Structures are given as structure tokens and as C-alpha cells.
Structure 1
């Protein structure tokens, strides 16, 4: 099977850990060991990943510069794709004994410049500020801001991914049996100009939505959305919580999960499953078991 495995931020940084290179490398080594089981079982693998903490760190570093000197989010996204891709690539090569070719592809993802998300930015990025400080910076940098708990942060749009222009390169790599790491952090957000050329834009694309689009475009058999929870629970957080082992896309649409937790994963899983494959949600350590239907939550059309 062709499997797209999307690993969440916990694969790189577990809750409460410092954002150090050492901590990230150790976590990536653990993630690589789980992903390697999919390859050893005879499946072809594509890996996508989150980048929230890493983009936040780069944005914090950028705050030391004048607003006009700070790098835009598309460039920060490209930087994190390279950094995280390097770690995953190296650890996968190590755990597989260098028997498989592994490559990281910086992946552009096209969004619509007229997407309504640009009118209502909701995605927090970068460091926290006191209100007076961020209002001054927002005015000079052209930011949108919102309250996050007791502090204030920058917010940016999270538009829907509509096209992956690097598909031809991906297909060439897959045809040669390469394990590909791509679309990190949802991919590098770009828009098409009137002449067809591409240019980066200030936005953050949902990683799971981009992974579902990638899996659909490649005709993948399975999409695994791997995180640090066992699967999707009904009545989560209550004494009546039960793991949902199999659900259909139509059932997903009726669950009404919170937007900030399992909602985006279920939406991405449902979109992909509607097009014929199956999606699995569960713990990274259970990746192969989820693929085989022995763990996690499977989302697929009813037969």
C-alpha cells in the first residue's frame, strides 16, 4: 500500500519539553522507529509533519529585528521544513540501516488569495506580548492580533490548501521507491499570480488538510494521522468516554468535534475517506497496528 503518515508536533516535542535540538532529535528517533515498521511490512511511505513550535521559535528570533527586517511566514515555513525534514530523514535512514533511499522535499502548497480565512485570521503564531507592546509592533508590521489567555499574540490566516504544484517531483521520487518527507507544517503557502507564477503569502496551512490533499492527489491507499492519543473518543473527557474503532465519513460529520482538538484531523480523514481510501487516527507508536486495523480509529466508507 501507499501510505501517507502525518506526524503531529508530539513527534518532535512532547508536552513540557524544551525546544532544543537534542530533545527534537531524541523524539524523532522514536518516531522513525515506529514509521520504519510500516516500511518493513512492505508498504511505500510518505511522511508529513507539523512545525508549530519550530515556526514559533523562528518568529521569536525574528522579533529581535525591526518589523521590516523580519522574514515572512512562507520563508519561516521553508526553513522549518528543511530542519525537521533533515532530522526525520537521517533518523529513518539510521533505523532502516540505509537500505532505503530517503529524501526531503520542500513543498509549496497553493491557496486561494481570496479565501475567506484571510478576512478572519485565527491561527496563533510567534511569541506572547503585553497588549501595548504588540499593538505597537502590529501597527508597524501590519499584523492582526488576538488575545491568547492572559496575553496577546499575532494571528494569521489558515486558508484551505487547493493545489500541490510539486506533485510531478513527488511522483518521480515515488516511482524510484524513495521514502519522501514533504508538506511539512502544511507546506509552504503560496498563491498564483495572474501570469501563473507563484509567490509566498503570510499564512499557515493546516497540516492534516494538506496531508489529505496530498494523499488524495497521489491516490494513496491510507492516510494515517498520528498523534499522542489512542484514537477518537465519544464523550471524551467524561467517565462515559469510549474509543470509536470504526466510523464512516458521514458519522464524522455528525460528531461536531471541537475545532481546536480532534476536529481538523477528523475533517481531513473524512475528506480523504470520501474519495475511496481509508484514514486512521491514533498514537504514533501504534502506526503499523492502526494501518492493519488493530488499533486507533479507522475512518472509511461503509461497505
Structure 2
């Protein structure tokens, strides 16, 4: 069985959201225990991950140094965080596998995701990234060509395009590594946003790709049997925050679409995960799962989590 495990940002930071190097290493070490358990069960695992806090740290460095050196573009930030987090995750997974007496090679792949240069998102950037700045601080970044908006009392915030992911350009390399026996880490942060120019050459662009949609696209591209999105709750919930709240267990795609249309999933949290799972199930005819890391092994075998079936 081959699965794609998509790790949320909580798997890459401390419980309180801190992203110091020691916090990221500790979080990765805990997350890779679950992956090693899957490998021990004979599952072929491909891992993808969020990178929001890590890119946020790089953006702060950009802002502090903007008067001295030009800011690093967002596609470079994505590539840098894929490399750093890939290294951390490989080290943690190697240790977890060795502790179980398992010998499996690991690999981290810097991965590009193609988007359309004509995507409407580029015409009106709306995805907020990074921290709030004063008007004077934001003006320095605007002079470097960035788009910032006045958000009132909290200050100014940068907004960028979030185009639809169309193709994981390096998916064939992921497949080759998996078939060679590797546990692969790929497409972090939804992939490095890349466009194909008129002359067929490729170039990175200033944008961010939704990590859950990137995970769904990668899962289809490498033909996994199951997409598992790991978050900080065991299930998606109906009526979240109300006395009538209840966990969603096994459910059909049609039922999950219905719950989404009824407004049960918040846009900034569970909504994108449900959208990604539904896209994967609809387009692949296979199963999608939402659960937490501690329930991963049980969820893959159908005993835990929110499990979305095609029918």
C-alpha cells in the first residue's frame, strides 16, 4: 500500500506555535515516530508538509535586512524551507526507523509545482503572509515591488497570489525514488510555484500554493492508494463549537460535499483540508483520511479518523 501523508504546520512547530530550530527538530522527531510505525506495517510512505512558520521566519529576515540586501523572493523561500525541513525530517525518520530495527533509505526532493501565469489570482493578490508592519516599514517593502495593504489598527500586511496548482513537475522523480525503496519527502508547502514561459522554459514566481491542494495534486500524480491529511484533531467535526458537535467517521464523498455546502468547515482551518480530500477522492476514486498523528496507523487501516470513500 502506498500513501501520501500530509503534515500540517502543527507537526513542524511546538504546541504553542513557536518555530525556533529546537522546536522544529522536536516536532519533527515526534511526527516521524508515526511515519516509522507506518513503515513497520509495510506501508510505502511519501511525506509532504506545511512550511508557513518557516517561510514566515524568512520573511521577517527579509524585512529586517531590506535596507541592506534585496528581499529573497517567495519561490526561493519555498525552496529553502523544503531543503531545511527535508533535512530535519530525514534525520528524525532515520533515527525512528533505526530504533525499530528497520533499514529504509530516505530522500528529500526539492519540488516544483506548475501554475498558470494567467491565473486570475495574480491580477489581485489576496493571500496574507507574514507579520504586520508600520506604514513606514511597509513602504520599504513596497519599494522592493511587494504588495501591502493597510489593515487598520493592526498595521500593514503583505498579500500575495495563491494560484491553483496544476502539475507537480517533479512527480516522476518521486515515483522513481519510491519504487527504489525510499521514503520520500516532497512538495513541501504545496510546491515551489513555477510557471512555464512561452519559450517552454520554467521560472519561479512570487506566490504561495495552498499546501492541502498541493498534497491532493501530488497524491493523484503519484497514484497513491490513500491521501492522509494529519492535523491536530482526530476527526473532522459537524457543528464544531456547538452542543451538537459530533465527529465524522466513515462517510461518502457525496455526504462530505453536503456537509461542506452546509458550512460545517471553517475556511481558515478544516475547510481547505476537506476540499483537498474531496478533490482527491473524486478525481482518483480512492480513499481520503483526516486525523491526527497519533491515530495514523489506525486510520490507514480504517479504524480511526474521518474516512471519505468515493461511494
Under a length normalisation based on structure 2, what TM-score does the superposition of the two structures give?
0.92
- SS where residue 65 of structure 2 aligns? coil
CA distance in 1, matches of 2:125, 2:230: 26
- SS where residue 161 of structure 1 aligns? coil
The one of 226, 230, 240 aligned to 1:236: 240
Residue matched to 1:296: 305
Indicate conservation of the 8 Å contact 2:172/2:222, yes or no: no
- Measured against aligned partners, the alpha-carbon deviations of 1:226-267 in whole angstroms (never above 9, x if no partner) come to 011121100001111000102222223222322211111011
The one of 198, 203, 206 aligned to 1:194: 198
- SS where residue 64 of structure 2 aligns? coil
Residue matched to 1:137: 140
Aligned-pair CA distance for 1:37? 1.1
Quickly say closer, same or farther: Cα 1:149–1:80, change in 2 above 3 A: farther
The one of 258, 267, 273 aligned to 2:275: 267
Aligned-pair CA distance for 1:144? 2.2
Residue matched to 1:247: 251
Quickly say closer, same or farther: Cα 1:27–1:249, change in 2 above 3 A: same
Of residues 287-296 and 13-22 in structure 1, the stretch that sits farther from structure 2 once superposed is: 13-22
Indicate conservation of the 8 Å contact 2:12/2:27, yes or no: yes
- SS where residue 39 of structure 1 aligns? helix
Unaligned runs of 5+ in 1: none
The one of 184, 193, 200 aligned to 2:188: 184
The one of 253, 263, 277 aligned to 2:286: 277
CA distance in 1, matches of 2:190, 2:42: 27
Aligned-pair CA distance for 1:70? 0.8
Residue matched to 2:94: 93
Write out aligned runs for 1:28-39 (5 A): 28-39=28-39
CA distance in 1, matches of 2:294, 2:135: 41
- Measured against aligned partners, the alpha-carbon deviations of 1:200-237 in whole angstroms (never above 9, x if no partner) come to 00001111111111111111100000011121100001
Residue matched to 2:77: 76
- SS where residue 64 of structure 1 aligns? helix
Unaligned runs of 5+ in 2: none
Residue matched to 2:20: 20
RMSD: 1.6
The one of 121, 127, 130 aligned to 1:126: 130
Aligned-pair CA distance for 1:168? 2.1
CA distance in 1, matches of 2:240, 2:63: 38
- Does 2:233 align with 1:213? no
Aligned-pair CA distance for 1:84? 0.5
Aligned-pair CA distance for 1:148? 8.3
